[in-house]
Amino acid sequence: MQKKSGLLLLLAWLAGLVGLVLGLALEPMWFARFGSLMVLLSLVGEYILLHNELDRLYASLEKVDDSGDIPDLSPSKWHHKKVLLSHLTIILGTLIWGFGDLLL
């Protein structure tokens, strides 16, 4: 499940690239249309990231016993990077979706 979010993020960027090529080759409206796919794929990837993190958090909290020894619950640096890239992809995809045809 962890790799699905990265794959969806990669597919989102590929959709943006395909939209750019089609927008330049055929009609600029294609760039805007593929921006919507970029947003959709990155939102699904971010949803998966969130649920993976929550599942890991809940599993770690179940292991906490009465001694009060709490394990490190912070997400990994790679997870932070994927979340940040996902946020940026959503923002860029939204701008492409709304103004892609005007940008080309």
- What average pLDDT does this structure show over 64-89? 82
- pLDDT (average), residues 40-55: 92
What average pLDDT does this structure show over 47-76?
Answer: 80
Could you tell me the pTM of the whole model? 0.84
Please check the confidence at residue 52 and state whether its pLDDT lies above 70: yes
Q: Would you give the DSSP letter of residue 72? A: P
Contact of 92 with 19, CB cutoff 8 Å: no
Which pLDDT belongs to residue 1? 59
